[in-house]
């Protein structure tokens, strides 16, 4: 259990997509404000995308931001550690980063690489993964890490028949 976090993560407004001020979000998490962190967090909050470090590096470059790939890597790690972004594995095992930290799962298309958010179903008021975790802990006495569930498959675009 981590009790060090001074404030819970800023809730994402589900109406009107009010992007939180990255400076305040960083400060609330006891993170030193730095330009790279604000740029990275700002992009993720604004775009609400799933990005790899390389993808983010290229997107920021296109916006005229001058961050090196290693700076992007480093700061994504810091933000993930603070719970401001969530790291997860894509179809081929590479890391992606997600500004949506609410419980949800990913379905990854193995043809196109498209990633879709799927809300976590709840059982007894708990997100599915948490429910499984607690059920296994109760049955075994183990301290079980939160399971990471992800799904792969074919998106509708990739299911089109090949014939002409
Ligand atoms: Zn997601």
- 73 and 147: one domain? no
- Residue where the block lists tokens 């074919």: 154
Whole-number Å distance between alpha carbons of 86 and 97: 6
Please tell me whether the overall predicted TM-score, pTM, comes out greater than 0.85 for this model: no
Amino acid 19: pLDDT: 60
* The last residue of a domain, from among 101, 125, 150: 101
CA dist 26 and 42 (Å) reads 11
Domain that holds residue 6: 1-101
Please report which confidence band the pLDDT of residue 5 belongs to, taking 50, 70 and 90 as the band edges.
Answer: very low
Residue 114's pLDDT band (cuts 50, 70, 90): confident
Residues 15 and 96 grouped into a single domain: yes
Ligand 1 centroid, distance to 96 Cα (angstroms)? 9
CATH number at residue 27: 1.10.10.10
Ion ligand 1 nearby residues (CB, 5 A): 98, 100, 117
How far, in Å, from the CA of 95 to the mean position of ligand 1? 12
- Token reading at 54: 């390389």
- pLDDT per position as a tens digit, 50-82: 899 999 999 999 999 999 999 999 999 999 988
Instruction: Give 10-24 pLDDT, tens digit per residue.
Output: 444 444 445 678 888
Q: How far is the CA of 119 from the centre of ligand 1 (A)?
A: 9
Which among 93, 98, 100, 94 is positioned nearest to 119, based on CA atoms?
A: 100
Let me know whether 84 and 156 are in one domain.
no
Residue where one domain finishes, among candidates 65, 83, 101: 101
Residue 97 sits in the same domain as residue 114: no
pLDDT one-digit tens code per residue, 36-45: 999 998 898 8
E strand map for 5-130: 50-51, 86-89, 95-98, 104-109, 115-119, 122-123, 126-127
């Amino acid at each position: 259990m981590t009790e060090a976090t001074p404030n819970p993560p800023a809730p994402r407004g589900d109406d009107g997509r009010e992007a939180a001020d990255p400076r305040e979000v960083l400060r609330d998490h006891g993170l030193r404000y730095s330009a790279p962190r604000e740029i990275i967090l700002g992009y993720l909050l604004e775009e609400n995308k799933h990005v790899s470090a390389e993808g983010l590096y290229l997107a920021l470059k296109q916006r005229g931001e001058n961050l090196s790939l290693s700076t992007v890597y480093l700061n994504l790690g810091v933000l993930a550690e603070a719970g401001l972004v969530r790291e997860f594995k894509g179809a081929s095992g590479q890391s992606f980063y997600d500004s949506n930290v609410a419980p949800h799962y990913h379905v990854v298309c193995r043809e196109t690489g498209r990633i879709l958010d799927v809300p976590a179903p709840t059982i007894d008021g708990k997100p599915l993964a948490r429910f499984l975790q607690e059920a296994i802990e109760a049955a075994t006495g183990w301290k079980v890490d939160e399971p990471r569930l992800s799904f792969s498959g074919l998106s509708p675009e990739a299911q089109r028949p090949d014939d002409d």
